[in-house]
């Protein structure tokens, strides 16, 4: 069976989650700083627990061999009665690690998508960022009047940060953030929206149209410097291992790698889950798995996205099967896929670079695709 633990009894599961408290959102939920729902096998003496906060962030702890709890949790997740309305996916962390082997049962019929992550911390900041702000850009601290003025295209993270403030005095607020503004438009933001004691976690995003201009660098730098100067002992940066730009930026700003850990991702919608599973399988060079998932999508979908054929082509290229790689790439191109940049960035096709075959391949894709937006965190 599964029971919701009343808020005033969350302390009962805190020992179970001790090894996950390096993740700020888990720690904040256990401290009552952020709202969370906690489900257990026994309200008086819980031995297995599921905690979910901030929509999609979820945590498993305790006894991973609790068959009845696993079965009940699976049924509750897919009944639609367990999570807040609008939650379409879950990012799950586990302690002890034995839970990882049970996730397939908890979220069946979905297959867990493993997302290896890197956990960085920063306690001293020396990066000189003001001179690196691009011309015409302004770095601004997030304030309440941004919401009151109904600024166009206010990012959700910024809006949620402002709405979380109960106090009008900026000095009394724990959370904070900065934005990069150009001509009145927010192009990038960095928010420290989770603070537990003297530790805060930073999150950031940049409008895809304005990436590679150094906006994330200066916006994040402003937030880190502000946080450490106002009394935080440590800032945390936690990102997907294969998000290379995020990894490089963390290290550029002086963050130090202190931990590697796994999260597992699932989406309730079957098609979207398999679509993401195909991408993540390709990113982690699990080529046979990629082909298997893509074949499932093509078989079960009424209309297959064109980039599924591109993913298939990359997987076959990674396996060294050039014939099938070109067959699927041509299928993608015939269906309208045209991202030359994505093809150029694909490691599976690097063996062709500089060859006549490669140049002919690029020329076969329409020239306007050079300006196509890139497809896809964390």
> pLDDT class for 151, splitting at 50, 70, 90?
low
The tokens 């015409």 sit on which residue?
A: 136
Structural domain includes residue 116: no
Q: Do residue 256 and residue 134 come from a single domain?
A: yes
Nearest residue to 241 via CA among 285, 272, 275: 285
Structural domain includes residue 378: no
143 pLDDT more than 70 = yes
What confidence score (pLDDT) does residue 191 get?
Answer: 97
Structural domain includes residue 273: no
Final residue before a domain boundary, out of 111, 134, 165: 111
Rounded Cα gap, residues 288 and 318, in angstroms: 9
Q: What is the mean pLDDT of residues 331-337?
A: 90
Final residue before a domain boundary, out of 111, 133, 165: 111
What confidence score (pLDDT) does residue 377 get?
Answer: 40
Q: Do residue 97 and residue 126 come from a single domain?
A: no
Give whichever of 93-107, 149-163, 334-348 has the largest mean pLDDT: 93-107
Structural domain includes residue 272: no
Q: Do residue 252 and residue 350 come from a single domain?
A: no
Taken in order 195, 89, 262, 208, the sign of the CA dihedral is negative
Residues paired with residue 3 on neighbouring β-strands, in sequence order = 40
What confidence score (pLDDT) does residue 210 get?
Answer: 85
**Cβ proximity of 332 and 309 under 8 Å:** yes
> pLDDT class for 153, splitting at 50, 70, 90?
confident
Q: Do residue 128 and residue 256 come from a single domain?
A: yes
Structural domain includes residue 341: yes
Q: Do residue 98 and residue 184 come from a single domain?
A: no
- Domain, as residue range, for 231: 122-260
What confidence score (pLDDT) does residue 368 get?
Answer: 40
Q: Do residue 24 and residue 61 come from a single domain?
A: yes
CA 23 to chain centre: 14
Q: What is the mean pLDDT of residues 148-158?
A: 76
φ and ψ at residue 325, rounded to 5 degrees:
-65, -50
Q: What is the mean pLDDT of residues 156-178?
A: 84
Tell me if residue 93 falls in helix, strand or coil. Answer: strand
212 pLDDT more than 70 = yes
What confidence score (pLDDT) does residue 152 get?
Answer: 58
Least confident interval from 73-77, 150-154, 364-368: 364-368
Final residue before a domain boundary, out of 111, 134, 149: 111
Residue 2 structure tokens: 């599964």
**Please, what is the average pLDDT of the chain?**
90
> pLDDT class for 374, splitting at 50, 70, 90?
very low
What confidence score (pLDDT) does residue 146 get?
Answer: 87
Nearest residue to 325 via CA among 282, 373, 276: 282
Q: Do residue 126 and residue 245 come from a single domain?
A: yes
Tell me if residue 350 falls in helix, strand or coil. Answer: helix
Q: Do residue 242 and residue 134 come from a single domain?
A: yes
CATH number of the domain enclosing 49:
3.40.630.110
Structural domain includes residue 173: yes
Structural domain includes residue 267: no
**Cβ proximity of 77 and 105 under 8 Å:** no
Residues paired with residue 190 on neighbouring β-strands, in sequence order = 178, 204
Q: Do residue 91 and residue 185 come from a single domain?
A: no
Q: How many helices and strands, by DSSP H and E, does the chain display?
A: 13, 12
Q: What is the mean pLDDT of residues 297-324?
A: 92
The vertex-15 CA angle with 9 and 17, nearest 5°, equals 95
Nearest residue to 187 via CA among 159, 203, 208: 208
- Percent of the chain clearing pLDDT 70 (strictly above): 94
Read off the pLDDT of residues 95-114 as tens digits, 9 standing for 90 and up: 999 999 999 999 999 999 99
Q: Do residue 154 and residue 91 come from a single domain?
A: no
Strands (E), the chain: 3-4, 36-40, 48-53, 57-62, 89-95, 113-122, 138-141, 176-182, 185-196, 199-206, 234-240, 256-267
Structural domain includes residue 247: yes
Long-range Cβ contact pairs of 351-357 (< 8 A, separation 24 or more): 351/317
371 pLDDT more than 70 = no
226 pLDDT more than 80 = yes
Q: What is the mean pLDDT of residues 136-164?
A: 85
Q: What is the mean pLDDT of residues 194-214?
A: 92
Read off the pLDDT of residues 247-301 as tens digits, 9 standing for 90 and up: 999 999 999 999 999 999 999 999 999 999 999 999 999 999 999 999 999 998 7
Q: Do residue 95 and residue 214 come from a single domain?
A: no
What confidence score (pLDDT) does residue 204 get?
Answer: 95
171 pLDDT more than 90 = no
Q: How many domains does the chain have?
A: 3
Q: What is the mean pLDDT of residues 313-334?
A: 94
What confidence score (pLDDT) does residue 372 get?
Answer: 41
Burial class (CB in 10 A: 0-12, 13-18, 19+), 64: buried
Q: What is the mean pLDDT of residues 209-214?
A: 87
Q: Do residue 143 and residue 206 come from a single domain?
A: yes
């Amino acid at each position: 069976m599964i029971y919701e633990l009343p808020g005033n009894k969350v302390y009962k599961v805190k020992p179970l989650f001790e090894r996950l408290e390096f993740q700020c959102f888990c720690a904040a939920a256990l401290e009552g700083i952020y709202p969370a729902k906690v489900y257990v096998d026994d309200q008086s003496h819980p031995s297995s627990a599921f905690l979910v906060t901030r929509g999609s962030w979820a945590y498993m702890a305790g006894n991973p061999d609790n068959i009845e709890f696993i079965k009940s949790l699976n049924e509750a997740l897919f009944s639609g009665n367990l999570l807040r309305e609008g939650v379409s996916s879950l990012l799950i962390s586990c302690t002890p690690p034995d839970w990882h082997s049970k996730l397939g049962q908890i979220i069946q019929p979905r297959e867990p998508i493993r997302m290896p992550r890197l956990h960085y911390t920063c306690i001293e900041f020396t990066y000189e960022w003001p001179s690196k702000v691009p011309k015409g850009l302004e770095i601004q601290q997030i304030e309440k009047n941004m919401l009151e003025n109904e600024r166009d295209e206010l990012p959700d993270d910024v809006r949620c940060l402002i709405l979380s403030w109960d106090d009008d005095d900026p000095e009394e607020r724990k959370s904070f953030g900065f934005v990069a503004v150009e001509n009145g438009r927010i192009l990038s933001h960095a928010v420290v929206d989770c603070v537990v004691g003297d530790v805060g976690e930073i999150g950031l995003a940049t409008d895809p149209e304005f990436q590679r201009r150094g906006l994330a660098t200066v916006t994040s730098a402003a937030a880190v410097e502000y946080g450490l100067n106002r009394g935080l002992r440590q800032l945390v940066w936690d990102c997907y291992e294969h998000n290379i730009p995020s990894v490089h930026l963390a290290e550029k700003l002086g963050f130090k790698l202190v931990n590697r850990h796994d999260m597992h991702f699932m989406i309730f919608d079957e098609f979207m889950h398999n679509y993401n599973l195909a991408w993540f399988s390709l990113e982690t060079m699990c080529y046979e798995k990629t082909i298997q998932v893509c074949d499932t999508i093509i078989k079960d979908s009424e209309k297959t996205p064109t980039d599924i054929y591109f993913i298939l082509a990359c997987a076959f290229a990674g396996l060294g099967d050039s014939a099938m790689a070109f067959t699927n790439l041509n299928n993608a191109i015939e269906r309208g896929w045209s991202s030359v940049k994505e093809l150029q960035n694909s490691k599976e096709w690097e063996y062709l670079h500089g060859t006549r075959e490669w140049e002919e391949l690029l020329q076969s894709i329409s020239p306007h695709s050079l300006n196509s937006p890139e497809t896809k965190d964390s």
